[in-house]
Structure 1
Amino acid sequence: MLKYVVALISVSVALWSGCEWLNLWFWELAEVSQDSGRLLRQEELSLYNGREDSRGLYLAILGQVFDVEKGRKHYGPGGGYRFFTGRDASRAFVTGDFTEAGLTDDVSDLSPSQIVALYDWLAFYQKDYTHVGRLIGRFYSESGKPTDVLQQVEASLAQGLKLKAQAEKENELYPACNSEWSSDRGGRVWCSTKSGGVHRDWAGVPRMLFSPGSGQTRCVCVRLDDPTHSNNPNLQEYKDCPPQAESCLLSQD
């Protein structure tokens, strides 16, 4: 896994050289892989569920096992996250399904963006809790080697990070509009120097941006003095709204 993570670090540096947090995130995961610790079977991990006569508080995520004893108020009996201990419930970290069926390590149908979120959780545990070892099973073999399943998950991670970078780049180019709606006045969209969470020195004007991939449109702010926008066939003006207006009323139809 370390070799694969280092490869992903190289990809991250090449594609997103300005994202220091991303590089740090990968290096933290690489440290987890280097300090592999011991190998546990599910039967042994289940003994660390915090219940009476248990050996402590362990949980696993993507086959990596962590000691969460210092968070006992959260992971111990009666804690809000007690159902995570003694098992690998990777799927539930991003789905929020805390039923027995949902508390599983099967992440085969998660989207690339969900896999990115799952690795964010893995980085959180690596930073805040003690790494104990690896869980033999879906993600690691009897000898502690990454399984084909884990390699597929890592491939999905790489795809998810690429999509995330593309979305962030598009958001910088086309920040989202501010919006409001009321039953009596209808809707309104407008642009400001802080709309879409992107702080900038220009406000822009509202336009509808069509996404071919999803078949949907969203309101974005564009600069009138940027000629690249005039060549984008996916940008459309709002009906009955002046082209240079920073605010547009939306029809209730």
Structure 2
Amino acid sequence: MTTPPPTPAPPGRTTRPPTSSDTAGDRPAPLADDLRAKYLRAPVAALSAQLRALGYDDVTIDGVTPLHPASKLVGVARTLRFVPARPDLFASHGGGYNAQKRLFDSVGPGEVIVVEARRDPGSGTLGDILAIRARRNGAAGVVTDGGVRDVVAVTAVGLPVYCAGAHPAVLGRRHVPWESDVTVACGGTAVQPGDVLVGDADGVLVVPRHLAEQVVDAALAKEDEDAWVAEQVAAGHPVEGLFPPSGEWRSAYDAWRSTRA
């Protein structure tokens, strides 16, 4: 019996070998509603201070700015890794229904697509069509250390996006979409699927998932303290012994906090 020849790939698509993105684990668990509500209240700066107190100094995604500075970004990470452009690699992985398109089709509510583009803004890593798809799927946002093309149209979609700047070139000028849902480096920071991504006008922070509740509770408690201190300073008190509270000021703050409890 003669073995039939393989079915050719549809026009516009290229065949490719399997990648780790094809066998990635289950999608990350979403944030509980109450935990998400806490993160929506917590400033990135306050969260950063609490992570630093735990020894986590390298958790900011550096070099990115928001297209919507007034919008808060909170969600769990889905990751996408690009490798440097090379003709043969783009032929095997870049065309057709590639890793980038598969991830934007599969992203779900409350998830943030985090893109490792090696801090290379020399081409777009997101355009308006994919931004529309992500928003329609309920994604919480996109963070990329590469460029965004069609930036006016992407901004108009309304999806929270942090990027390294605008660039008109298509993806293939610099990048090949390689794999998804693996540990990546975005803006010099390690991001794992399921990590909590939080962004505001100060920037984007990565909170390891196992620290999520501890960090946000400590940040909100410190925000309450800082708000009380700000009231005392606004009333004319010097910052010595007050910022942070110590001695009599600590006793005064503890007494004030007990009345609120």
TM above 0.5: no
| Greater relative CO (CA pairs within 8 A, separation 6+) | 2
TM-score by length of 1: 0.29
Higher alpha-carbon Rg: 1
Tell me the TM-score normalised to structure 2 length.
Answer: 0.28
